[in-house]
Every structure is written in C-alpha cells, then in structure tokens.
Structure 1
Amino acid sequence: MTAVRTTYREALRDALRAALREDERVFLMGEDVGRYGGCYAVSLGLLEEFGPERIRDTPLSESAFVGAGIGAAIAGMRPIVEIMTVNFSLLALDQILNNAATLLHMSGGQVAVPLVIRMTTGAGRQLAAQHSHSLEGWYAHIPGLRVVSPATVADARGMLAAALADPDPVIMFEHNSLYAMDGELDGDGPVDIDTAAVRRPGSDVTVIGYGGTVGKALDAAAELAEAGVSAEVIDLRTLRPLDERTIIDSVTRTHRAVIVDEGWRSGGLSAEVSARISEQALYQLDAPVARVCAVEAPVPYAAHLEQAALPQVADIVAAVRALEGLT
C-alpha cells in the first residue's frame, strides 16, 4: 500500500468499513451512529453503504444496547458497540463488568464474548466535568477485558481488526483530541496489540504515555532534545494487559521514568505502571519514578482552567528536568 495522509477519524472509518466488508457477522450499533454519522463523524456514510441492518441506531439506553451487543456476540456475531463518551459507559458498567468480562470464566470456557466497545475519552474540548473523564484505569482494573487506546493514525486504522479477532471483549478508547489529527498511513492490516511501541528512542529518561498523552510526550521530548536531554517515548497502546517487557527494558537502559496520564493520580493507571517499574527495576533507577497526571478535581469548563487541570508539555518537561542529574 502506498503511504497516504489521512486523519485519525478517517482511519477509524476505514477500519470500520473494512471490517464490515470482510465479515458479514460484523455490525455497528450505538446512539446516532447511523443517520447522524456518529457523535464525532466516525461512521459518517456507513449507513448509506451498508444499510440499517449493519449500522444500527439505538435508543438512549447504554445498558440495553451494550447488553444486546453481548447477546449478539454470544450468538456468534461480531458486534462493534459505540458509546458516545466514557462517562455514558458508566450506565452500562453492570453489563460490561458482570457479563462481558466474566461469562467466559463463569461458564468454564463455554461462553465467549467477542465484543468490541468503542468509546471517546478525555478532556480538552470544554465539555465540562460530566463529559471529560479519563477512566481508562477503571477498565484496565477489570479481569476479562482487553483495553486498548490508539494514539496514532496507523493504530486507529489497525487496532479494530486486531480487536475483532480477539476472543475476549475489547474496550477501545479514542481520545477526543485526536479525531482531527492527521498522519501517514502506509498499511491497512491489523497492528500488534500485545506490544507497546517505542515512538521515539532515547537514552536519558523514559517518558510513558498512551492515547492523547503520547503526542504531548513527543512534543516534550523534542523540546528536551534541544536542551541536550534524550527522552525515549513509549506508547503503551494496550492498557490491559500491560506490556511490561518494553517498559522495563527501556527503564533499564535510561534509568529514569516519567509517566504521563490524563487520569487521576490516586489509584490510577500511572500508579500501576509506577508500581511495576518499582517491583521489577528498582535497582536500575537513578531517581524515583515521576508522574504527570490530571488535577484531582472535576474538569473545569473554562478553557484556561481546563488546560491548567490537564497534563501539558511544559509539565512533562518540568518533571523530566526535576529528576536528579537532568536539572
């Protein structure tokens, strides 16, 4: 495939189109995914191409249509359920936690739930507290789920196919700031969702992010490079199960780590990654693990307060500089 320039949104739409064409068991369901084209226009045009049997607009009841997706998956279909934003997924948490994540275990391996749930996550667009959550760490806490978070155009295009091939339920988090991002796409096959990606090699410090924080980490690394600090940037890609090997190998080489997480600091994903580094590479560290997280408060509506509440490039640079030997 010749490399093309496209957007994150268009890459997701291409992934949906390819999945629908390649497997008649695949269908998309959710609020406004059909005639409206999706809350973020990801499914725009798919209703006209595939019809209402394959692109299903649902009532405003997350518990009902996630439950319907679970039932369809058990019956042999390959449903893709879209939830508008992560906060709405809380209305379906019983279905996700008590049914999708547990049925394979509770049935002794007899009832698999090959379901993909896509949802928008993150803040930064002045959608106020109820629509600006980053709850990936909550879902990464649940056994029985695979949790992925595409941060690049290529991963937006390739993760869906890999998720549909997984026999377990997969939660796919799409950060709302990424939909308009453009980038090079030089392939259309599934990507490796078992392995974290080194997005920029470095030797002085490992900066770890995922989803919407990866771009900020890369911008911070570029700024640090001008000051002579070589930062390696790791994109976790899959939040459950974590690729510990890539993380530990990097920290073993750089001897310092900064974790960037738009979620809250207390009990969050950054805490888990930090704990695993401490458990497996403590004596390789030349400084304590640092974390750059969101302020532990409801996300403000006002633009300047919202930006102040979220991890920014300057915060990442400051965290790296504060590490012993890099000031």
Structure 2
Amino acid sequence: MWRPSLSGNISGTDPLKDNRLLLKAEALDDSHEARNTAAVVNELSKEITKILVSHPVNARRVAEGKNIANVVLLRGCGIRIEVTPFLGKHGLWPCMVAPTKIIAGLGLSLGIDILDAPGATGDYRTLLTSKASTIAKALSAPLQSSPKVFVPGEDELKAGRPDGYDFGFLHIKAIDDAGHDKASILKVKALEAVDTAVGQLARLLWETESSGKYQFFLCVTGDHSTPVEYGDHSFESVPFTMCRLKDFVGAIGESTIRQISLDPFPIPNVKSGKDLLDDLETKERRDKHCQPYSGDSVYELNEVAAARGCLGRFPGGEMMGIIKKFLSLDAETA
C-alpha cells in the first residue's frame, strides 16, 4: 500500500545472475519519495543480512559445510494500483491461491480474496494437491445452482461474499521456474505434475457437481512463455482452453475421474544426466489414445496446437470476456 514519502519508482537489488554482488536500490526519478524509498530498501537489506548471518539455521549450515542464506532479493517494486475491483468489472465473486507474492499482490489490487493453501509455495517444493483442494473447497461452498453473470451494487461490494465464490484462480509457478533454470527435464516433470493436479481438481469439483446443485467450468492457460532455450520470458502466444466440467468428465470417463488419487505428491526430483527421451512418449504413441472430444480438432495444450483452435488468437484483455460469454451461452441453453 502506498504511504507518504514512498515511491514504487526504484530499481531492485536482485542482480538476476548467480555469483554476483547484491545491487543497491536506486531512485529512478529525482523525487524525494524515490530517493527516500531507495534509502529505506538499502538499509532494510543490510538489516536483513545482519539477522540472517546470525540465525541458528545458518549456524547449523556452516557447521555442516553448507552455504548460508544471507540475503533477501528485492525486485519489482511497485504500489497498489487503484482499479475497478474484479467483482465490479466482471460480476463474479473471486478467490485465488497464489503463493507467489507478486501474483497475490495483483490479486489484492483487484479485490480478490487470497486463500491460504498449507504447504503451497511459489517454487518446485509446492504441494499442488493442497492448492487444488483449497480452490475446490472455496468453490463448493453454497452458491447459486447455475452460472450467473451480474454487476453487484456498491453495498454488495463492501459486504463481501457470505456464501462462497463464483470464480477461482489457481496459480502455479514451478513450470516458469524450470524455464528460467533452463531445466528441460524438470519442466516436463512439472508439467506432468500439473496434469495430475488438474485431475485432482476435476475429481473434487465433480464430487460436488454430481450432487446436482452445482455446475463448474474449467479454464487452463498461462501468462507468458518461458522457453528453456532462452531462460527468460518470451513473446509467443500462450495456449488457452476451457470447457464445462461435465464435458471434461465425459471425455475422460467418470470412472476414471473418480479413481484419481487425492494423495499429496511432490514434483519429482530429476537425476543428473537423465535423458529427457527416457520418459517422453512418441507422437505416434500419443496419437493412439488422444483425440479431440468436441469444439475443434485440438487435443494438446501447447502453443503450436492451440493456434489451430476455434478461438484463434486474441489479446489477453479479451480473455475474461470470452470466459463470461461461454458461461452466458451455456446458461441460455441449459
């Protein structure tokens, strides 16, 4: 939150490369607020290092001959922007699970409730099952039996949602991390883990929907590409898919959905020297058991395949409009 004499217009302390010195925050304009904020951040960094160096955990690491954690990297400074809340703009009561704080910060700026998922982190060690179950529980709280797009009044915006949520956002960071780390095998493993988590989410939501009081929709997409060859964000279009949960269950098979294990699982460790081809199916093997269910001919979620989809290409700013149109059309035909 913005405070007097502070500014978001400063540089970060993260050198963005290993084995480089911590940077000093610098004011990016000549204002008193920017200079003051940079000075506060630099002093904070010094105090953090003092505390960490003498921390008992680091004392044990030194005794074990391990490197110590002696800095906190600060980057992406900003202020909470003043925008129309998600509820007011889209007419859907939103919640999100996003341990990555920059994503959670965006959610807070939009008035989205941030849910706590025990064991969920913004890295490879995250418990995806916890994320899936937290979102499923929030969306399964009592609410209207059919999708409903509405624009609430000011009093409703202030009062909050007493009986559950209409929209849940689940963010997963590990795949992006693998791209930054140029870790091809780990990226594949992270994608496979997300596949499993989507299955768990589908099972949990289907158990609720099959009671006859709910109807859910799934949407899977990303915010950007992070190719392992480049190790950073790039400009490619990202895949986008959405469907009614009952159609997803119909494509997979209800018996298959109900047999999906809800046991927590980690993203598998990758052994050094492991060949990526050891675990990858060939296109021929995939084609034997993969086929489009409905809508168009696409049955893979990747940049190239999705470009052939019936939605074509569209800018990110149109995404929520497309989602709400899909909900409205389904409600009209129900």
Normalization by structure 2: what TM-score? 0.32
Larger radius of gyration: 2
Normalization by structure 1: what TM-score? 0.33
Larger RCO of the pair (alpha carbons < 8 Å, separation 6+): 1
